[in-house]
Amino acid sequence: MSLLLVGTGVARGVAIGKAHVLQHGRPDIPEYTIPRRAVDAEVARLRAALERTRSELEAIRDQVSGTLSTEIVSFLDTHLLMLRDSSLSEAPAEHIRTRLCNAEWALEQQRDLLARMFAGMDDEYLRSRSEDVDHVIGRVQRILLEQETRGHRGAQRRPEGRVVLAEDLNPADLVLMHHQGLLACVTESGGPLSHTAILARSLRIPTIVGVHHVRDYIRDDELIVVDGDRGTVLADVDEASLAHYRKRQQQQRRYRATLARLRGKPAITRDGRPIKLQGNIELPEDAAQLRENGAEGVGLYRTEFLFMNREAPPDEEEQLRAYLGVVHALEGAPLTIRTLDLGADKPDPGAAGAPCMNPALGLRAIRRCLRETALFKAQLRAILRASAHGPVRMMIPMLSNLHEIAQVRALIAEVKDELRAQGEPFDADLDVGGMIEVPAAAVAAPLFAARLDFLSLGTNDLIQYTLAIDRVDDEVTYLYDPLHPAVLRLIHGVIQAGRRAGIPVSMCGEMAGDVRYTRLLLGLGLAEFSMHPASLLEVKHIVNDSHAGELADLAARLLAAETPEETEELLARLGAR
């Protein structure tokens, strides 16, 4: 009898391979005293481990830059910077000299000291750095321990050709293991919107999160099957099942070859409805990936990543350079720049005041910008100046009140006057749109549509706020349901409001790039999708294979469905599940 374990599939695909069980999130750190004469050798051992960590991270960074989201690259850069800081390069060596302790323990002492220091800080951003310190020190310690065990038990195994089972994985570890050739990954915690999950999707590593106690059920080296589409892990698999999964792998390979052929082709439904497929980007360098996947420009440029991992915000000129980098990379394709969305899941380096109990409901995004108009105006100026060089639109996140639009419009008018007076060129007709990601804005969508030039559905937040579930809390991931009737009704209402007002409506949340929902969204009348570039060809494949008219009938019946059975049946017919 096979053993079946269930979690949440966050990156699709089937993998068959031996389990590589990582027992500890953090290694057990030995503590011992060294003789005074061994101090220099121990310091040298520490320095060698720091050096190896540095060269490993540099090698990973160099291999991935250009192919991965630069957010991940800058994440690795932050870790490299930390390794160079004297708190890691000098202080632990000093502990070895003064306390006569081993290198692993010296690092542990330094880790505790830094953790206490960070915990006492008011600044949420700096507090969040404590986790990075933990990752970096843990990596150096693992290298030291590996040297130790190697002397006794031979070299440590790498996850090459194996399925990694872990409590959790941070993005840097996932990147490292990807380069060591891991096949798939299963974790006990984590959610579908974490950076590790997003990264796994873009690296196409079949990944399942939230498989509680998986390491208690599966032994190292045991042959297992990971089904990222269904979120299942199978052990004790019989020959017939193995043959079934091998066939699915073959089908997937053929499918990917079909997708590659869609690159230069338009996205158009069988009944002739053109669909706009755009990409989401986080840093200017991401624009390169869009062309490879045939995106029609950028539907969401998350500018807050320019403001993260640093203490002082970028000034107008630095922002302008970044925006122009994207405008030029897009070679005439449209660019939607979203104004700052700091706070909640996007740590805000400059947030003032006491830590907030509910940051997702606090002074986040446009609320923060309207409070700090000097910061906001610098960004408005940079966006307007960029608009002189290519087709740029501006998008405002987290609108919940109409007066916010009036305030933004007034600030834009002020900035335009200043730019005119300074002789700076800009697009006087620049479109200003809003993200509909708070239920209040979705319910009152016609009022918002009347005051904006376009709307974009941010389903990550819209689902979070509608269903009252923290989008990064894995305890409530099971309630995260894009198909909840309340969510579908809101989405439909927003699309209709846009149509009636004669303005475009796009969707830029993760739902837009999830092929399980493509047909349903087409049926609800969505004609513009913006997503991670890695999903674009798959969505195009479904669009080109769909009949929008037929889907509209099914979607209308789904919205009116009264029983769960009816809903299930219609969803199955829509191919939504």
Catalytic entry in 135, 195, 389, 547:
195
User: Residue type at 396?
Assistant: I
3-state helix, strand, coil in the chain (%, to 5): 55, 15, 35
Told to check if 510 binds Mg ion by CB under 5 A, we report no
Q: Is 458 in the site for ligand PEP (CB under 6 A)?
A: yes
Sheet holding 207-209, edge to edge: 3-6, 232-235, 223-227, 14-21, 162-166, 184-187, 207-209, 8-11
- Binding piece for Mg ion, criterion CB under 5 A, among 96-104, 204-212, 434-442, 443-451: 434-442
Q: Is there binding between residue 437 and Mg ion (CB under 5 A)?
A: yes
* Residue 132 is a binding residue for ligand PEP (CB under 6 A): no
* Nearer to Mg ion (CB atom), residue 304 or residue 461: 461
Interface with ligand PEP (CB under 6 A), residue from 293, 336, 460, 506 = 460
404 binds ligand PEP, rule: CB under 6 A: no
Q: Tell me if 459 contacts ligand PEP by CB under 6 A.
A: yes
Q: Which is nearer to ligand PEP, 262 or 462 (CB)?
A: 462
Nearer to ligand PEP, 378 or 508 (CB): 508
Q: How far is the CB of 435 from ligand PEP (least distance, A)?
A: 7
Least distance to ligand PEP from the beta carbon of 464, Å? 8
Extract the tokens encoding 105: 């323990």
Cα–Cα distances in angstroms (integers) from residue 117 to residues 131, 133, 228, 431, in the given order:
12, 12, 40, 46
Q: Does 458 bind Mg ion (CB under 5 A)?
A: yes
Q: For Mg ion, which stretch binds (CB under 5 A), given 65-73, 104-112, 318-326, 450-458?
A: 450-458
Q: How far is the CB of 107 from ligand PEP (least distance, A)?
A: 35
Could you tell me where the beta strands, DSSP code E, fall in 107-222?
162-166, 184-187, 207-209
302 binding ligand PEP? (CB under 6 A)? yes
Closest separation in Å from C-beta 300 to ligand PEP = 6
Instruction: Assess 461 for contact with Mg ion (CB under 5 A).
Output: yes
> Would you say 174 or 337 has its CB closer to Mg ion?
337
Site for Mg ion in 485-504 (CB under 5 A): none
Which residue stretch of 53-61, 160-168, 218-226, 453-461 sits at the interface with ligand PEP (rule: CB under 6 A)? 453-461
Q: Give strand pairing partners of 268.
A: 274
- Residue 302: contacted member of ligand PEP, Mg ion, none (CB under 5 to 8 Å, by partner type): ligand PEP
Determine if 341 is a binding residue for ligand PEP (CB under 6 A): yes
Yes or no: say if 275 and 522 are a contact pair by the CB < 8 Å rule: yes
Contacts of 236 (CB under 8 A, 6+ apart): 1, 2, 3
Residue 191 touching ligand PEP (CB under 6 A): no
Site for ligand PEP in 482-521 (CB under 6 A): 508-509
Instruction: Give Dmax (Cα) for the chain.
Output: 82
Stretch that binds Mg ion, among 22-30, 252-260, 455-463, 531-539 (CB under 5 A): 455-463
Beta strands in 248-352 (DSSP E): 276-281, 298-302, 335-338
* Number of residues this chain uses to bind ligand PEP (CB under 6 A): 10
Phi and psi at 528, nearest 5°, equal -135, 125
Identify which range of 12-20, 227-235, 455-463, 476-484 contacts ligand PEP by CB under 6 A. 455-463
Distances (CA, A) of 134 to 89, 110, 140: 15, 10, 10
> Binding partner of residue 285 among ligand PEP, Mg ion, none, CB under 5 to 8 Å per kind?
none
368 near ligand PEP, rule: CB under 6 A? no
Rg (CA), the chain: 25
Contact 114, 87 (CB under 8 A): yes
> What is the CB neighbour count within 10 angstroms for residue 246?
13
Question: What one-character-per-residue DSSP string does 416-475 give?
Answer: HHHHHHTT----TT-EEEEEE-SHHHHHTHHHHHTT-S-EEE-HHHHHHHHHT--TT-GG
369 is an active site residue? no
- The option from ligand PEP, Mg ion, none interacting with 183 (CB < 5 to 8 A, set by class) reads none
- 221 DSSP 8-state letter: T
For position 42 contacting ligand PEP by CB under 6 A, the verdict is no
Q: Angle, nearest 10°, between helix axes 39-64 and 124-153?
A: 110
Minimum separation from the CB atom of position 336 to ligand PEP (A): 11
Q: Is 470 in the site for Mg ion (CB under 5 A)?
A: no
Q: Which two tokens stand for residue 355?
A: 């830590």
Query: CB of 344: closest distance to Mg ion in angstroms?
Result: 9
Rule CB under 5 A: say whether 427 interacts with Mg ion.
no
Alpha carbon distances (Å) from 472 to 111, 192, 431, 463: 26, 8, 32, 12
The SS3 call for residue 265 is coil
Triad 213, 216, 221: Cα angle to 5°: 120
Q: Which residues pair with 162 in a beta bridge?
A: 18
Candidate residues 104, 286, 461, 528; the one interacting with ligand PEP per rule CB under 6 A: 461
> Is the CB of residue 576 less than 8 Å from the CB of residue 520?
yes
Q: Which residue out of 101, 185, 369, 508 is catalytically annotated? A: 508
413, two tokens: 């008018």
Stretch that binds ligand PEP, among 94-102, 371-379, 452-460, 494-502 (CB under 6 A): 452-460
Give the residues across from 346 on adjacent strands: 343
CB of residue 465 vs Mg ion: minimum separation in angstroms? Answer: 9
Name the residues annotated as catalytic: 195, 508
| Binding-site ranges for ligand PEP (CB under 6 A) | 300, 302, 341, 437, 458-461, 508-509
| Binding-site ranges for Mg ion (CB under 5 A) | 437, 458, 461
